[in-house]
Structure 1
Amino acid sequence: MRDDASLPDDLATAHRQIREQAETLRQQAHLIGRLQHQLEQLLRQRYGRKGEAVDPGQLTLFAPDAVEVAEAAPGPPPATPPEKAPGRPAGRKPLPRSLPRRRVVHDVAPEHRACPECGAERQRIGEESRQQLEYVPASLVVVEHIRPKYACRSCAAHVVVAPRLPEPIERGLPGTGLLAHVITSKFADHLPLYRLEGIFGRHGVELPRSTMCDWMADCAGLLEPIARAMARRVLGSKVVGVDDTPVTVQDHGGKGKKTGRLWAYLGDRDNPFVVYDYTPDRSRDGPERFLAGYRAGYLQSDAYAAYDGLHARGLVAVGCWAHARRKFYEARTSDPERSHAALAWIGRLYDV
């Protein structure tokens, strides 16, 4: 152990190191308690009255005195009541003012307004009010677009009609609101198209999932200019962050499914956009194609070898503190002194 003279001189860093050590002690105590509970349960299954068999070879992992303690124990210790979570402030949160209000008046019937003592009609002196949150179900509406046609009766010709309004899908059935709802439900709320098919069916409208899938493909083409503009902004950043994640997709080659890759590219604070790019595999072709126009800047990524070619052409490799911190976090039990010091310094960087 280090002596007191080698402790951090900076008070804020010392406090953070103490908090990191306290958190480690708390987690270790929790782990010890959980393992001790598992040990007691295993020993009771072996020596207790329960009929479930346990491999005796597992008991060789434990010390003999632990087995003796388990034999002497008459039963499980009394359960300690769980600690109560900090209570929330009493009272109900007010409903947002942005929600529309509908006033419903429950008035006293006229025959009950007479005073029971003198018979005069009682006058209104105030009211009692309470708010109730209600849900208005979504509904489908058929919008019929009418374009009157005009012609010259004298010439019996020269027909004129208002031009057609632009539509997201040429001569398609869905309006912009329906397309926005399907897109949000599928990609933001993770609602599969087959469930949307059932929901629309309860409204009495048959919308096959294959049709909605075609709509999504058409909308992807409509939104492509926006995605390209976002990509240009990301490539205009001084620092670009990139990472990939596996995604399961259908394999039209006959194997049922395969694993593709979805790459996320993050711009800096002046270009706060995230652009996703799909590739069928994890080869270097994906990031090299997307970052082909990114010549001078910093590339923040993990140590995947696919980025080596980008660094070789001049992009400065920037490490990730989240990945670096994880190794110090994992070393808390093997080298607690130095790991907590490193965690404290990294925490100071996070505060900047």
Structure 2
Amino acid sequence: MELLNKNMNLLLEQLKVSNQARFGSSSEKIDIEISEQLQLCFNEAEVTIATAGEIAEPTIEQVVSGHTRRVKPQGKRDADLEGLPIRVEEHFLSEEKLQELFGGSYRRLPDEVYKKLDFHPATFEVVEHHVAVYCGNKNQTIVRADRPSELLKNSIVTPSLLAAVLNAKYINSLPLYRLEQEFKRYDVNISRQVMSNWVITGSERYLSLLYDRMHDELYKSHVLHADETPFKVTKDGRDTMTNSYMWVYRSGKDGGGPPAILYEYQKTRKSDHPAQFLKEFQGVVVCDGYQSYHKIANERPDELKVAGCWTHARRRFAQLCKALGKEKAKGTLAEAAVGQIAAIYHVDNSLSDLKQDEKLRERQLHVKPLVEAFFTWVKANRHTVPEKSETGKAFTYCINQVNGKPYVYY
């Protein structure tokens, strides 16, 4: 009977997690206050003091403050419209009306000014190039003026038109057939086949160069984040339900500038793909538990190290908390795990403005103990829950990722 109840509880837990994944919110935010998260840390006081900066005693008015009505910020509309072109429209009273009202004795005060926002739909303009042609009177030599470079030879497409097509399809997720219909409303007939050719040829000829340059820049980062996700691609020569994979690589924050993010489409999940992409990279790859990354690190131990991803570790606990609901999740090991990870995030984020050497020193002092304490807690509690339960699986995942080096866990 005990075994039957245990199996029944496991099935109910798995059902709740499955329902949450199918029908629940995809957000992984958990309603736990930072103060509650820090209470789970064994050195809460030390962490709070270290990250607080200069501390000033509050006054009684600050501690027991009455409710104050929030003041609406002044000039917000002007700030929202700042930088947009302005067309001034003036409105007057006729001279006859002014004579009727004031009898000729009046003065004009400062105008009352208000703003409206006008919208102009996309417009098309035909650019007609006239190339001067010259002919010598003596030798009949014909010379033409220089023509500007063309984006695609013998094509009507311009950089702005191709940019609009790329933006509509890949930023706004608008299929080309719908963009074709949109253009027709402006009496512009451009077929989806033509736009497809523009997209592919333009990407191969121009964007591939930018991609390769960004790939080189990615290698300069000491830390990379890598992940892959399955999705379906139709009409690629395989069955419709066959999985393809989009691999994503992102530089870390150690470079200082904006991150470089590159996507790579592959039909399979073979380890050859990340191995080829990362062949010249030396540093730390932050990833999930997929063994392909670990295989690459084992083949190149002096050049590449793998670090576990906190987001993937937290996700398993967070999904269980959301599936159980706020009330039932209270006091569970899953909630405690989410709180401890949130505390690690909180302390580490407070160091984001420090220089690299200072950040490393502060991480060793304040973040490393929290990480080590978390994994000590995981190992102490992993045998208190069934191995096949969602909490048990999450504990196993965390332990399998660290490989005895919790401080490497990013």
**Contact 1:237 1:268 (C-alpha < 8 Å) held by counterparts:** yes
For residue 314 of structure 2, the aligned residue among 300, 320, 325 is 325
Displacement, 1:320? 1.0
**Contact 1:325 1:346 (C-alpha < 8 Å) held by counterparts:** no
**Contact 2:183 2:190 (C-alpha < 8 Å) held by counterparts:** yes
Q: Quick one: structure 1 residues 109 and 320, their matched pair in 2 at CA, closer, same or farther if it must change by over 3 Å?
A: same
Q: Does 1:176 align with 2:159?
A: yes
Q: 2:120 is aligned with what amino acid?
A: V
1:212 match: 195
For residue 132 of structure 1, the aligned residue among 102, 105, 116 is 116
In structure 2, the gaps of 5 or more residues are: 1-39, 50-68, 322-328, 352-410
Which one is further off, 197-206 or 91-100?
91-100
For residue 288 of structure 2, the aligned residue among 283, 302, 327 is 302
For residue 243 of structure 1, the aligned residue among 203, 223, 227 is 227
Q: Quick one: structure 1 residues 279 and 342, their matched pair in 2 at CA, closer, same or farther if it must change by over 3 Å?
A: closer
Q: Does 1:98 align with 2:98?
A: no
Displacement, 1:183? 0.8
Q: Quick one: structure 1 residues 12 and 328, their matched pair in 2 at CA, closer, same or farther if it must change by over 3 Å?
A: farther
1:293 match: 280
For residue 11 of structure 1, the aligned residue among 45, 54, 60 is 45
Q: 2:99 is aligned with what amino acid?
A: A
SS at 2:177 equivalent: helix
**Contact 1:200 1:207 (C-alpha < 8 Å) held by counterparts:** yes
Larger radius of gyration: 1
Deviations 1:159-212 (A, max 9, x none): 111122111111111111111111111111111111111111011011111110
Displacement, 1:334? 3.0
| Matched ranges for 1:47-86 at <5 A | none
Q: 2:261 is aligned with what amino acid?
A: V
Deviations 1:37-56 (A, max 9, x none): xxxxxxxxxxxxxxxxxxxx
SS at 1:93 equivalent: helix
For residue 334 of structure 1, the aligned residue among 294, 318, 332 is 332
Equivalenced residues, count: 274
Deviations 1:252-272 (A, max 9, x none): 326346421111111123172
Which one is further off, 88-97 or 158-167?
88-97
Deviations 1:85-130 (A, max 9, x none): x98937763233200000011211232121446x326443332221
Q: Quick one: structure 1 residues 257 and 279, their matched pair in 2 at CA, closer, same or farther if it must change by over 3 Å?
A: same
**Contact 1:242 1:301 (C-alpha < 8 Å) held by counterparts:** yes
2:395 match: none
Paired with 2:226 and 2:46, the residues of 1 have a C-alpha distance of 33
Say what the alpha-carbon RMSD is for the aligned residues: 2.8
Q: Does 1:195 align with 2:181?
A: no
Displacement, 1:321? 1.5
Q: Quick one: structure 1 residues 236 and 140, their matched pair in 2 at CA, closer, same or farther if it must change by over 3 Å?
A: same
Q: Does 1:278 align with 2:265?
A: yes
Q: 1:239 is aligned with what amino acid?
A: V
Q: 2:284 is aligned with what amino acid?
A: Y
Between 1 and 2, higher relative CO (CA 8 Å, sep ≥ 6) is seen in 2
Paired with 1:318 and 1:189, the residues of 2 have a C-alpha distance of 34
Displacement, 1:342? 5.5
**Contact 1:328 1:343 (C-alpha < 8 Å) held by counterparts:** no
Please state which structure has a larger fraction of its residues in helix: 2
Q: Quick one: structure 1 residues 116 and 243, their matched pair in 2 at CA, closer, same or farther if it must change by over 3 Å?
A: closer
In structure 1, the gaps of 5 or more residues are: 1-5, 16-85
**Contact 1:241 1:301 (C-alpha < 8 Å) held by counterparts:** yes
For residue 99 of structure 2, the aligned residue among 114, 123, 128 is 114
TM-score, normalised via structure 2 length: 0.61
Q: Does 1:166 align with 2:149?
A: yes
2:399 match: none
Deviations 1:284-311 (A, max 9, x none): 12111111122x3111111101213211
Query: Sequence identity, in percent?
Result: 27
Q: Does 1:349 align with 2:333?
A: no
Paired with 2:334 and 2:268, the residues of 1 have a C-alpha distance of 40
Q: Does 1:149 align with 2:139?
A: no
